[in-house]
Chains A and B, each alone.
Chain A
Amino acid sequence: MGAGHAHRLYRHGHSPVHGLPAHTKLAAAFAFVVVVVSTPREAMWAFALYAVLLAAVAAAARVPAGFLLKRLLIEVPFVAFAVLMPFVAEGERVHVLGLSLSVNGLWGAWNVLAKGTLGVAASVLLAATTELRELLLGLQRLKLPPLLVQIASFMIRYGDVITDEMRRMRIARESRGFEASGVRHWGVLAKSAGALFIRSYERGERVHLAMVSRGYAGSMPVIDEVTASRAQWSSALALPCAALLVCLLGWVL
């Protein structure tokens, strides 16, 4: 956790996709996921078309396929669940290579796998082309409650500070001969976690004091005014619109 994570997902570049304002990209990615999720699972060709759409965006953003695929690995634990479904689901069964599989389960697994992968791929593309800081500003522009955005931005700022504090506490523990090797030591770890919580809480108070001293009165001042032109909106929304077309065809055909 913490150190550097924030920046590792981002891939520096100057492509047209990188250049779009963050809130247009956020809206586009969200709309795309909604459209994908509402597509009937039987329309397999539609999902292939979605993948092609995403590949086109990746090409425009100059994000190499290897980069994208490696980051898709985060999905693996969910895939494991999908793989189980054909074995445990009820209903009509088919036999493949001597295994008895549920037809319903197969469709369910496909559904989770296809929609999940497309959703993760869209998020990975978003994260690869948008800096974390811009994402937050984008959320602010999209009128997410300011308190949530503030909490998220403090998390980014203090993640490293708190991880570092945790590391120092671990070093201090180990320097005095402590090694967590079993259940018996969980008490010590729990106390460290408690101490870390109190330290962070007190830091929160000091930070608040510093903010109030510089004129904070409950809401963050607007420092960067980001606006999107009509052209930028339309190029960002090209992706979900194309996807919507595919989705409608999927329902009609």
Chain B
Amino acid sequence: MGPVTASLEVSGLAFAYPDGHQALFGVDFTVGRGERVALLGPNGAGKTTLVLHLNGILGGGAGAVTVAGLPVGKRHMAEIRQKVGIVFQDPDDQLFMPTVREDVAFGPAAAGLKGPALDARVRTALERVGMADFADRPPHHLSFGQRRRVAVATVLAMEPEILVLDEPSSNLDPASRRELADILRSLDVTVLMVTHDLPYALELCPRALILSDGVIAADGATGELLSDDALMRAHRLELPFGFDPRSVTARA
């Protein structure tokens, strides 16, 4: 990564749940500043467990996670939670305040921002996802795609070092999917995208990691990984019918 500190560094991360189920067996990878990386893997590969380690919700196993040079641990928890912005899969879980504006303000206000500075932060975040006109609406009166975009804004308002998206394209219709892709491309922020949606990963992320059985099984250019039939089959990853990653890369 050169002289610039990597946005995210995970080394030797292993974790077992209290019931004995071991989810991660030594995960190593690095995400450089400004990169967009897809984290692919079948159900039960440990993707969610890994995500919850990134901002210290889970911890206590072996290994270490470092965000922009800061180790994830009790000492810097508030700072880590500000630097790692997680967008959860169900926007109804993410948007818990009565209005969009208050929800977007929640993170920065918890960090101590107040008054006009807070208002400005909220406005900028909503403008970046094209939802500025909906600030005073309650979240449950928005469409699903709009809620997903507001969920992204709630995290952007914290000006994170890295944006972690859990299944960002799930339940979106094709138009909302494309709108979200445009927004994600326009952001100048490191992105780690956890997904099953392989065409979406190819569209947005030049690089991909495959997490399988609690280890990183592959790390490389998204197009190359998706074109490797044997690798894909070994990790239960399947492309949608009729989709050929080679033709897409050739065109791009």
Residues of A within 8 A of B (CB): 132-133, 136, 153-154, 156-158, 160-161, 203, 206-207, 209-217, 221-225
B140 at the A/B interface (Cβ < 8 Å)? Answer: yes
6 contacts between A and B (CB under 8 A): A161-B140, A210-B96, A212-B57, A215-B107, A215-B111, A222-B109
For A132, give the chain B residue with the smallest CB separation.
Answer: B98
Q: Are A223 and B105 in contact (CB under 8 A)?
A: yes
Q: Are A223 and B102 in contact (CB under 8 A)?
A: yes
Q: Compute how far the CA of A222 lies from the CA of B109 in the bound complex, rounded to whole angstroms.
A: 7
User: Could you say which residues of chain A place their CB within 8 Å of the CB of B114?
Assistant: 222, 225
How many inter-chain residue pairs (CB < 8 Å) link A and B? 77
| Nearest-Cβ distance from residue B65 to partner chain A, whole angstroms | 14
Q: Are B110 and A221 in contact (CB under 8 A)?
A: yes
- Partner of B96 from the list A133, A160, A211, A225 (CB cut-off 8 Å) is A211
Q: Are B106 and A221 in contact (CB under 8 A)?
A: yes
User: Could you say which residues of chain A place their CB within 8 Å of the CB of B82?
Assistant: 215
Q: Compute how far the CA of A161 lies from the CA of B96 in the bound complex, rounded to whole angstroms.
A: 11
Q: Are B110 and A214 in contact (CB under 8 A)?
A: yes
A contact patch SS: helix
Residues of B within 8 A of A (CB): 52, 55, 57, 78, 81-82, 84, 86, 88, 90, 92-99, 102, 105-107, 109-111, 114-115, 118, 138-140, 154-155, 158
For B89, give the chain A residue with the smallest CB separation.
Answer: A206
Q: Are B98 and A153 in contact (CB under 8 A)?
A: yes
Kindly list 15 other residue pairs between chains A and B, CB separation below 8 angstroms, not including A156-B98, A161-B92. A132-B98, A136-B98, A153-B97, A157-B138, A206-B90, A210-B93, A213-B88, A214-B81, A214-B107, A214-B154, A214-B155, A215-B78, A215-B81, A223-B102, A223-B105
Q: Choose among A133, A156, A203, A223 the residue with the greatest number of B CB atoms under 10 Å from its CB.
A: A223
Q: Are B93 and A206 in contact (CB under 8 A)?
A: yes
User: Could you say which residues of chain A place their CB within 8 Å of the CB of B118?
Assistant: 223
Q: Compute how far the CA of A154 lies from the CA of B106 in the bound complex, rounded to whole angstroms.
A: 14
- Partner of B109 from the list A206, A210, A217, A223 (CB cut-off 8 Å) is A223
| Nearest-Cβ distance from residue A118 to partner chain B, whole angstroms | 30
Q: Compute how far the CA of A158 lies from the CA of B98 in the bound complex, rounded to whole angstroms.
A: 9
User: Could you say which residues of chain A place their CB within 8 Å of the CB of B139?
Assistant: 157
| Nearest-Cβ distance from residue B148 to partner chain A, whole angstroms | 13
User: Could you say which residues of chain B place their CB within 8 Å of the CB of A161?
Assistant: 92, 140
- Partner of A203 from the list B93, B98, B115, B158 (CB cut-off 8 Å) is B93
User: Could you say which residues of chain A place their CB within 8 Å of the CB of B92?
Assistant: 161, 203
Q: Compute how far the CA of A215 lies from the CA of B157 in the bound complex, rounded to whole angstroms.
A: 12
